[in-house]
Amino acid sequence: MPFIGEFSPPGDKSVSHRLVLMSLVAQGQMLVQGLSDCEDLKTSLKIFKSLGGRVEPEAQGLRFYGLEGKWPPPENLELMCDNSGTTIRLLMGLLAGRKGKYILDGDPQLRRRPMERVAEPLRLMGAKIETSSGKPPVVIEGQELMGIEYKLSEASAQLKSAVLLAGLSAQGPTTVSEPHPSRDHTERLIGYFGGQIEVQNQTMTVQPSDLRLRKFFLTPGDPSSAAFFLIAAAIIPGSRVTAQNLLLSRGRSGFLRVLDRMGAMVSLTMVSDTPEPTGDVTVTYNGPLVATDIPAEDIPSLIDEIPILALAATQAQGRTVFHQVDELRVKETDRLMGIRHQLGALGARLNSEGDDLIIDGPTSFILPESLDSGSDHRLAMTLSVALKAAGAPQVPILGRQSIVISYPSFDQHLAKLWHPVA
């Protein structure tokens, strides 16, 4: 029952968040085509509007009006970040140096997620931030900030971005270095919108800068969404799937390098390079996959794709090890536990040793009565693909409605690409 065909994945979620949130501190106006339509983005748009932002629909997309300098300094403004970790962490950086008092809160899943790692460097810059035992709600009273030099203890794009965005309004330069390369959209967009930023390997320095929006922005397709169908093609005989206009920066395409190493046929046609490298990607089934080793330094470039890559590993010959994936424990859910329990319920052999995830394959699927995604959108999509691969799409997945968090058109694309043969 192969996956066959072409599709255009939704606009990239990480880039979309940054476009919306950076418009809060930029001048000018910009027509954005293909902004992600997912629930997390609705959250960023809602907050953009509650801070006074203006966005208008047009035939070609959404027109954003930059808000720099036009913020009414609010007192105790509550900003509900719902389920979105990127919204809350980037906002912490953006608001720390802007006048006003803000309370950032979230839903029960977001209220479990660590915020001290973001608050800590911002405090070193002079920010006044309180978390609730390290988690949301987070209270910020905007202060004048000073640039710092800061070494991140973990490779997290959200954390790096928060410090860089705070650096835009600080006095003096702000330098951040990360232990392994993570997605670099914030750095690229600061430069693209006219900010002063220098990047050398894993160290970036931003100067206090004003940003100016560009006339037009075409949002590249989201690799973290496309991965579900591209990886399905790599594991199901007879499949061939093309994702168009996909974001292909190094920090986001780690899963394609892993698929290639595992023996899938992966071909790329680059379409554009600025502001983000994009292209069309085709994955063709090329016989059974072979296991691979994924070192810690590669994890940030495929962090959101680990659930679906883990499914691929269950079908590969040999032992696949994902090294140091402890970050998965603090995603929307404890994703490491979710992967182990739910793929385990399908017959996979998974273990964790310390912070490593170890998968021995290949395994044949066994069919449980139901599966439980724990309302984790990426796990829910992985389990949907797994059930197609197992030939048992009728097994119910609890919490499947969470898919709208990142990929509302997932079921439409699934129906288009999956070809059950009678």
The string of DSSP letters for 66-99 reads: --TT-----SSEEEE-TT-HHHHHHHHHHHHTSS
What residues between 77 and 106 interact with ligand S3P by CB under 6 A?
86
Question: Binders of ligand S3P: how many residues, by CB under 6 A?
Answer: 12
**Which residue bears the tokens 């418009």?**
23
* DSSP H or E segment with residue 336: helix 335-345
With CB under 6 A as the contact rule, which of the stretches 73-81, 126-134, 151-159, 229-237 interacts with ligand S3P?
151-159
What residues between 6 and 35 interact with ligand S3P by CB under 6 A?
14, 17
Indicate the residue type of 411: D
Query: Token digits for 304?
Result: 């959101």
Query: Token digits for 311?
Result: 């499914």
Query: Token digits for 292?
Result: 């691979």
| Minimum distance of ligand S3P from residue 156's CB (angstroms) | 3
* Complex with ligand S3P: residue 159 or 264, whichever CB lies closer: 159
| Minimum distance of ligand S3P from residue 218's CB (angstroms) | 18
- Answer yes or no whether residue 157 interacts with ligand S3P by CB under 6 A: yes
Query: Token digits for 50?
Result: 């509650």
- Answer yes or no whether residue 303 interacts with ligand S3P by CB under 6 A: yes
Of 12, 298, 304, 372, the catalytic one is: 304
Three-state secondary structure of 191-202: HHCCCCEEEECC
- Answer yes or no whether residue 403 interacts with ligand S3P by CB under 6 A: no
- Answer yes or no whether residue 156 interacts with ligand S3P by CB under 6 A: yes
- Answer yes or no whether residue 158 interacts with ligand S3P by CB under 6 A: yes
Query: Token digits for 261?
Result: 């190493």
**Which residue bears the tokens 């192969």?**
2
Please indicate whether residue 304 is annotated as part of the active site.
yes
Q: Which of 375, 373, 372, 344 is nearest to 358 (CA)?
A: 344
In the stretch 34-73, what mask flags binding to ligand S3P with x, by CB under 6 A?
----------------------------------------
DSSP code of residue 333: S
Which of 304, 305, 372, 376 is the binder for ligand S3P (CB under 6 A)? 304
* Residues of the shown chain interacting with ligand S3P in the complex, contacts defined by CB under 6 A: 14, 17, 86, 156-159, 161, 183, 303-304, 327
Residues acting as catalytic residues: 304
